[in-house]
Amino acid sequence: MSCISILHQKINLEDCRLITVSDVVLDTDGKYIRIIRFYGDPITNGAPTAFAEVVCRSATHADLEIQTPGYKL
């Protein structure tokens, strides 16, 4: 079973199966938002279950850009 524990303002997500990142969009309050969703166990109907969502907000679009290290398939 996936779990979340809070550690000194950090979140440790165990048994994460999938991470999705939304595009940056302008919210109704005039700020930009990006949503990051984490999925894990249990797997139901072949799909992981959503268990955490982080909504990031900023007045500036560029503040919500995401950088990741390169990876190989």
For the chain, which residues make up each domain, given as ranges?
3-64
For the entire predicted model, the pTM comes to 0.75
CA dist., res. 35 & res. 58, Å (int): 12
Query: What pLDDT, on the 0 to 100 scale, is given for residue 50?
Result: 83
pLDDT bin (cut points 50, 70, 90) of residue 2 is: low
CA dist., res. 23 & res. 32, Å (int): 10
For residue 34, the tally of other CB atoms under 10 A from its CB is 19
CA dist., res. 46 & res. 16, Å (int): 15
Which region among 8-12, 25-29, 50-54 has the lowest average model confidence (pLDDT)?
8-12
- Mean of the per-residue pLDDT values for the chain? 85
pLDDT bin (cut points 50, 70, 90) of residue 71 is: low
